[in-house]
Amino acid sequence: MISIGGITGFLIIALLHGADVGETKRNALNEPDVPFPPAAPTVDNLDAICNLSQGRPRYPSSFFPNSRFGHFRRRGNAINRLEWWYSLCCSGEVAEQRDPILCCTKQAWKQSLSQFCTEEYSTMTNAYECCQDKGDARWACFDSELPNPNYDPEPNYSAPVVPEEPGFTFNANTC
């Protein structure tokens, strides 16, 4: 458990060292910058998924303006969820062997994006284009035109604390 004093200390140290701890970044259209979709886990990016997580962006609610931009908020929530679930795959009993880690991260990726699509269809706006596909076509769509296929960390960035994301259980029997 992290104490309030621990979080405060982390933020003070991060700010003194010039770390980016989740300020809102904007793209050319003055929209929140949420690089999406996340790449599918592979043997090539698995080490970065498991070992460089704290250098990849998270999207706390304070990242977004109070109104509009719901689609960016849903993308940010999907990434936060996925990063939390990746942490479950990269630690504990699953992490004792490489093959189960890859299987677990793939399950987490698919479940997170499936939940994202469910959330997309629960609104009165157009759903993200990949959500319209089914089965393997959906996963191929999500795994194309990727902003960060290698899960590279951002320089001078330290991920802020985000809430735990329940709802994922690794099923080793499907590997």
pLDDT beyond 60 at 54: yes
pLDDT beyond 90 at 21: no
Q: Is the peptide bond before 37 cis (omega within 30 degrees of 0)?
A: yes
Structure confidence by residue, pLDDT tens digits, 120-174: 999 888 899 999 999 999 999 999 989 999 999 999 999 998 889 999 999 999 9
- Which secondary structure element, helix H or strand E, spans residue 31, and what is its range? none
Alpha-carbon distance 81 to 27, whole Å?
23
The predicted model gives 34-40 an average pLDDT of 95
Q: At what angle do helices 135-142 and 98-121 cross, to 10 degrees?
A: 100
Instruction: Sort residue 47 into left (φ over 0), alpha (ψ -120 to 50) or beta.
Output: alpha
Could you report how far apart the first and last alpha carbons of the chain are, in Å?
32
Percentage of residues in the chain with pLDDT exceeding 70?
81
- pLDDT of res. 20: 42
Higher pLDDT among residues 152 and 15, named by residue: 152
Amino acid found at 162? V
Average pLDDT, the chain: 83
pLDDT beyond 60 at 57: yes
- pLDDT of res. 171: 94
- pLDDT of res. 111: 98
Alpha-carbon distance 39 to 26, whole Å?
22
**Residue 139 CA from chain centroid, whole number:** 16
- pLDDT of res. 42: 97
Tokens of 6: 């621990």
Q: Judge contact between 39 and 147, C-beta under 8 A.
A: no
Higher pLDDT among residues 41 and 33, named by residue: 41
